[in-house]
Amino acid sequence: MTKLSSINGNFKNQHILSLDQFTTQDIETILKTTKKMKDIAAKAIPTKLLEGNTVALIFYEPSSRTFASFSAAIKKLGGETLEILDPTHFSSAAKGETLEDTIRVFEAYSDAIILRHPQKGKAQSAAEASRNTPIINAGDGIGEHPTQALLDLATIYEKHGKLDNLTGVITGDLLNGRTVHSLIKALSLYKNNTLYLLSPTELNLQREDYNTYQQKGIKLIEIQYEKQIPQNAHFWYWTRVQKERFTDTTQYEKLKTKFTLTKDLLKKTAAPYTILMHPLPRVGEIEPAVDEDPRAVYLKNQIKNGLYVRMALLALVLGKKM
């Protein structure tokens, strides 16, 4: 099996590790399939698309939505799961087994492996260790979180009907936030997108990443104050400061709620069409009063789309005809 290879229309048996593998056509395929999955889930049409398939979920880091939505997606399509949460304690990793060996073992019992790992690049290592089972990256440290970006795109598309000519604001921990890295890569595949990046300077994007993304053609504008947020954004994408990536807790405490999404900020700065997104979990950076705002999609569409997008991706990777 090829490793970090482009999808180019062929999802079957592909490792899904990074947004670098996608073209806009591949994203279109995901969005179309997601729509079908939404209908399947809403009308509760019984489907046995994944009947006979077992998918392993191996999560070395905590997760609520990603884990639960993958698990639900598999079951809704009639497949079965092998779920290993906290393998460092509950698998042979506790005895010192390497990730590569763990992957080789689970390959024998599953048709696809969904992996979350605290270190950047480990999804790629797993893909290299795998003989013929596709690995889906459910977050590799500060690296990427491709399925989150796909559901974020589905949410933006659902609300705005396009993925180009967008103005967005991304706030929070741009240095460590893997969802942000995948989302910026995704949006840079499309024409005329502009992103305002609001973060404490300590948590700015890495310069290398910043330059790479810009070269892809996306316009990135780093800002330092909430008052610099443009009034015409199609979406605000708030993120939490990633506590688990800090060695200095005082530094974390200092930065964690530097930028808070409040009703007041919304009133002053958002447009009637600005959707409010967050990959969740949120830990104080969104005032709960914002939840009632009809523009807030983080506890609604974004979560649901996580299920539909993962149903779509699994069906495609497992080569199902729909």
Looking up tokens 């073209």 gives: 23
What binding mask, one character per residue, do residues 56-75 give for ligand NCD by CB under 6 A, x or -? ---------xx---------
Closer CB to ligand NCD, 76 or 178, in the complex? 178
Buried b (16+ CB within 10 A) or exposed e, 152-190: bbbbbbbbeeebeebbbbbbbbbbbbbbbbbbbbbbbbb
Provide the minimum distance between the beta carbon of 143 and ligand NCD in the complex, in angstroms, as a whole number. Answer: 10
Residue of 179, 182, 274, 301 that binds ligand NCD (CB under 6 A): 179
Instruction: Copy the structure tokens of residue 108.
Output: 């024998």
Residue of 38, 117, 145, 185 that binds ligand NCD (CB under 6 A): 145
Site stretch for ligand NCD (CB under 6 A), options 43-51, 209-217, 251-259, 277-285: 277-285
Closer CB to ligand NCD, 49 or 309, in the complex? 309
Residues with a known catalytic role: 65-66, 95, 116, 145
Provide the minimum distance between the beta carbon of 240 and ligand NCD in the complex, in angstroms, as a whole number. Answer: 5
* Strand partners of residue 198: 171, 223
Whole-number Cα distances in Å, 244 to 42, 114, 142, 176, 218: 36, 21, 10, 10, 29
| List of residues 6+ apart from 94 with CB closer than 8 A | 87, 88
Q: Is 171 a binder of ligand NCD (CB under 6 A)?
A: no
Contact criterion met (CB below 8 Å) for 309 and 30: yes
Q: Is 155 a binder of ligand NCD (CB under 6 A)?
A: no
Q: Is 310 a binder of ligand NCD (CB under 6 A)?
A: no
Contact criterion met (CB below 8 Å) for 151 and 139: no
Q: Which residues bind ligand NCD (CB under 6 A)?
A: 65-66, 139, 145, 148, 178-179, 239-240, 279-281
